[in-house]
Every structure is written in structure tokens, then in C-alpha cells.
Amino acid sequence: MQRLYDFLRRHPTGVDSFWAVLFFGVSMLNVVGEPDISRPLKIVAVPVVLALSTALALRRRWTQGAFWLTLGAGLLQLGAGIVAGFWDIAMFVILYTVAASEVPRWVSRTALGWGLAAAPLYFLRYGVDKGANDVDNVLFAVFMIVPFVLAWVLGDSLRTRRAYYAQLVERNQRLEKEREAQSKVAVAAERARIARELHDVVAHNVSVMVVQADGAAYVMDVAPEQAKEALQTISGTGRQALAEMRRLLGVLRTGEPQESEDYVPQPDVEQIEVLVEQVRAAGLTVDFEVEGAPRQLPSGVELTAYRIVQEALTNTRKHGGPDARASVRLVYFDDGLGLLIEDDGRGAAHELYEDGGADGAGHGLIGMRERIGMVGGTLDAGPRPGGGFRISALLPLKKR
């Protein structure tokens, strides 16, 4: 049954043609058997019935043409004096089809106008019942208008529902595309965040490992215990880096953090002191100072603060020179957190902070600015008066 229904939906003209042939046969039987139609008029009625049957067959394929063909057949019937019969049912069907189809609105309104005029024109042409009073005749004429109006209203309602359904489908498709676009943007943003995290993890931890390895190689023969401590620091730093990289790569694969024994929470402000101690152990002299009353901050602000300090100290080790000293200062304000990281080394090359800090890897200060922008803060980075480099950041508690 479903296959038959699908077949009929795919071939509407074939279905209409079948009903048109059946309609033509029944209508011709009515024309032949109609006593009120003279023999000459029966001959004239044949093209009228044929035109109406053709209009029925093509009503969905050629809607406007079917309407004008029906209108012409009706005027011919009216002009020839052929009384109404079964064949005039086609006029209601065509009126309904025109109202329900996506034809220009003026065509639909024209069809409604002719539908409203059909009954009055018929009574003007053939007269009214002589045995009834004028009021009854007028009421009967008005009553005969109702089927035409109902046919048009039903068709127009169907057209409105179809248009509404098409609008819902179009809106749903647009929302699907927007969701896909938003998903792609979210994926790109997440990948960029992971790239920044990987850069921070690798740049910091690997630089510490390199410094410790160089120191261990230098004192291996003269101070074995000191070399052993350096190797232990390298081992611990490497494990920490692997754990963080495993977590980030797990997010990259599945979109969710992986629960495991090596899961590492996101760094926060309290771990900045641990970070400073780690950098000191790697051989860089760092002064650490906290002003104000420490308190719980939004996780995004704490992670941003940690990564900025980490990146700044990493840059100091990379570009500050062998005798560089650094200082880290945290200031708790009522509405935010201030960071000041300075060093007195050689400082980075000018191109490292020019145009947003576009170094060869494409991260560095650019990553800092992106992190600051995500929490609505401000960042000032550049050479320090008297030599060295300075990074000043203000992280608000709420986005601006």
C-alpha cells in the first residue's frame, strides 16, 4: 500500500488524467441524458466538457493554463445557454487547485472573483424561479456562491500550510547549518586552546630539562650528587610534561578529558609558587612576591595567570642570557588580579614583541594576548627601561 501511495505521489498528472477520463465519460452520459439541453446544444456541450476534462488532467502540471481554459469553457457554456450540470463540478476543483498552488496572487484573486460572479451571472442569464419572491431568489443566488468560496478558502488554507511547513523546513536547515558552523568554530577554538596548552607545556618543561641536562653533564665528574639531583629533576619534569600532554591529546581525540592515574588538574594561581621553585631549581634566579589578600578566582583567570607567568619565565630562560634575574609579582585587587613579570637580561629580539609577538613558532606573546582576550583582560609587553623585558597584565574577575 505504501508503494502504491508513493507511486501516486510521484505521478500526479497520471492520477489527474485517470480521474479526468472518468469525469469526461460520466459528464457525456449526463449531457446525452439531459432533457433540458437541445440536440444542437448537446453538440456544443462536447467541447465544453472536453475543455473541463483537460483542465482537470493538467490542473497540477499547468495550473494557470487550466484556470484560463476552465474560465473559457464556463463563458462558452454561459453564452451558448447550456444549463448547469454534473460537468460544472470541475469548476470547484480548478478553483481549489488555483488557490492551493504557488501561482501569482493576482491569478488566485482573479479566480476567486470569477467564482463569486459565477452564480449571479448564471441567474442573470437564465432568470430565476418565477414562483418565488425576490428575497428567496437573492438568498438562493447567494447560497450558490458559498461552494465557490469554500473551494477557494480550502485551497488557500492548504497553500498557507504548505508555505508555513516550507518555512519551518528552511529554518530548520538554516539552524542545522548554523549549528554545524558553530561546532566548527568551537572545534577550531578548542584546537587553538590545546595548541597553546601544548606550547606552554612543551616550551616550559623541555627548557627546564635542557638546562638541567646541561648542568648534569657539566658537573657529572666533579659533583655526582648534584648531577644526580639534576637527573631526578629532569625525570620529574618529563613525567609531568607527559602527563599534561597525555591529558591534552586525550581531549583532542575525544573532546573530553580522559580520567586516568596521570590526570593533571588545570594549574591555578597557588601553583605559581611551585612553578617559580621549579624555575629556580633549573638555575634561574627569581624573586616572587604576592600583594593583597589571596582568594579564590575564576578557573579561567587562574589558568591564564599561571600560563602567562610560565611563558614569561620560559622566555627569560631562552632569551635573557646566562646571568639574567627575574621577578614575579602578583597583586590582588578588589576587581581583579595584576601580574608583573620582569627580567634584567638581554631581552628578546625586537621582532618577538613587534606585531603582537609573532615569533617563529607563531605562539609566545600571541598566545598570551589570546588568553588575556578570552578573560577580558589587558596585556602590555615590551623592553624594560635599563634593559631586559617586562610583561604587565591585568585580569578582571568578570569579562568586560
**pLDDT tens-place string over residues 112-121:** 898 888 888 8
Mapping DSSP to helix (H, G, I), strand (E, B) and coil, where does residue 396 land?
strand
pLDDT, one tens digit per residue, over 228-249 is 777 777 777 777 777 766 666 6
Q: How far is Cα 93 from Cα 73, in angstroms, rounded to an integer? A: 14
Sign of CA dihedral 31, 34, 35, 36: negative
Pairing status of strand 325-332 against strand 336-343: antiparallel
Q: Which long-range contacts (CB under 8 A, 24 or more apart) does 347-351 make?
A: 347/319, 347/320, 347/383, 347/384, 347/387, 347/388, 347/389, 348/315, 348/319, 348/389, 349/319
What phi, psi does 350 have (nearest 5°)? -60, -35
pLDDT confidence band for 341 (50 / 70 / 90)? very high
Mean pLDDT, range 54-61, rounded to an integer: 88
pLDDT confidence band for 133 (50 / 70 / 90)? low
Q: How far is Cα 277 from Cα 391, in angstroms, rounded to an integer? A: 20
Q: How far is Cα 97 from Cα 298, in angstroms, rounded to an integer? A: 64
Asked whether the beta carbons of 194 and 242 are under 8 A apart, the reply is: no
| Mean pLDDT rounded to a whole number for the chain | 79
pLDDT, one tens digit per residue, over 258-316 is 444 444 556 788 889 888 888 888 788 899 999 988 888 887 788 888 888 988 888 88
